[in-house]
């Protein structure tokens, strides 16, 4: 009778320990996924920085009158590449975004440029880079969601709290204004 109870307790303890081990390992894996996904965003930002000198070189000949626009891009790119705090870099990336956006508005006035094969190839690369950055951010948020789900749900949250795992934060638009609905007026 007592041996029966003893065996039951033993089995329970072994199962409990197994649960702790597997949950701990799972949390470590998920956290590493989050870190890796965050690093991926940097990889894609770097890709964009590397593309910009090429872009400026290709379009310089066509766009004599748009020196200011091109200089803005180069400047924003150099700012973004400088090491700094996360918020500083985010701001610099924001400026680069703006500069690129202005550039593509201006490009519309240069039909020759739009027929240039080199430029078209670069444009595809830039489009793809923009996509990659947003997909990398999206993937990062997905990993954060997976991790936070485990951290917050019972019973895994007990293990998470025991080993000091902290909730990870989502990537959000730094500039809150960017998220707000723009005013549209009908004339």
Partner 1 sequence: MFELIRQNKRRSILLALLMLLFMLLIGYIIGSSLALLFYYISEPHAFSTEKMIQTPSQRSAPHYPQNQYSSQPPQTTSLTYEQVQYFTWLYWGPLGAFVAFVVWAIQMLFAYYSGGNMLLSISNAIKIEKGDHPQLYNIVEEMKIASRLPAMPEIYVIDDASINAFATGRSPEHSAVAVTRGLLNHMNRDQIQGVIAHEISHITHRDTLYMTILAVSLGTIILLVVGLREIIGAGMRGSARYSGRGRKDAVGLILFLFVIYIFALLLSLIAPLIAQIIYFACSRQREYLADAGAVVYTRNPEGLASALETIAKHYQRQPATDVNQIIAPLYIVNPLETLNLDTSSIFSTHPPLQRRIQILRDIARTPSLSYEQAWQKAEGKKWKQGISTTPATSPPSSTPSITQSLTSTSTLHEPLQNARITGNAIMKAQNYTFLKCKCGVILKVPPAYKGKVICPRCRTEHTV
Which residues of this protein are in contact with partner 1, per CB under 8 A?
33, 37, 40, 44, 108, 121, 124-125, 127-128, 131-132, 135-136, 138-139, 142-143, 145-146, 179, 181-182, 184, 186
Decide whether 6 or 39 has the Cβ nearer to partner 1: 39
Report the residue number, 124 or 167, with the smaller CB distance to partner 1.
Answer: 124
CB of 78 to partner 1, least distance (A): 25
Using the 8-state DSSP alphabet, how is residue 180 labeled? Answer: S
Q: How far is CA 127 from the centre of its chain?
A: 16
Q: Residue 40: which of 132, 126, 146 has the closest Cα?
A: 132
Closest separation in Å from C-beta 61 to partner 1:
22
Q: Which of residues 37 and 80 has its CB atom nearest to partner 1 in the complex?
A: 37
74 vs 130, beta carbon nearer partner 1: 130
Rounded least distance, CB 65 to partner 1, Å: 20
Tokens found for residue 72: 């803005």
Minimum CB distance to partner 1 smaller for 25 or for 149: 149
Burial of 96 (0-12, 13-18, 19+ CB in 10 A): buried
Three-state DSSP class for 187? coil
Cβ-based burial of 81 (10 A; exposed 0-12, middle 13-18, buried ≥19): middle
Check: CB of residue 109 under 8 Å from CB of residue 24: no
What's the CA dihedral at 178, 81, 129, 36 to 10 degrees? -90
Measured from the CB of residue 12, what is the shortest distance to partner 1 in angstroms? 25
3-state secondary structure (DSSP) of residue 165: coil
Residue 113 beta carbon to partner 1: minimum distance, rounded to whole angstroms:
16
Please, which residue, 142 or 157, has the CB nearer to partner 1?
142
Sorted by sequence, the CB contacts under 8 Å of residue 125 that are 6+ apart come out as 51
**Least distance to partner 1, CB of residue 35, Å:** 13
């Amino acid at each position: 009778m007592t041996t029966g109870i003893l065996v039951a307790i033993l089995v329970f303890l072994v199962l409990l320990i197994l649960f702790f081990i597997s949950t701990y390992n799972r949390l470590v894996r998920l956290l590493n996924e989050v870190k890796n996904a965050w690093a991926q965003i940097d990889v894609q930002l770097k890709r964009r920085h590397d593309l910009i000198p090429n872009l400026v070189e290709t379009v310089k000949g066509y766009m004599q009158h748009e020196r200011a626009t091109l200089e803005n891009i180069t400047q924003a790119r150099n700012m973004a590449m400088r090491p700094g705090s996360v918020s500083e870099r985010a701001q610099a990336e924001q400026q680069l975004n703006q500069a690129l956006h202005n550039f593509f508005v201006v490009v519309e006035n240069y039909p020759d440029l739009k027929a240039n094969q080199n430029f078209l190839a670069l444009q595809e690369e830039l489009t793809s880079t923009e996509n990659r950055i947003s997909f990398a951010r999206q993937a990062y948020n997905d990993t954060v969601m997976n991790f936070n789900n485990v951290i917050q749900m019972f019973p895994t949250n007990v293990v998470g709290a025991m080993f000091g795992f902290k909730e990870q934060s989502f990537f959000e638009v730094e500039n809150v204004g960017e998220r707000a609905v723009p005013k549209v007026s009908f004339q």
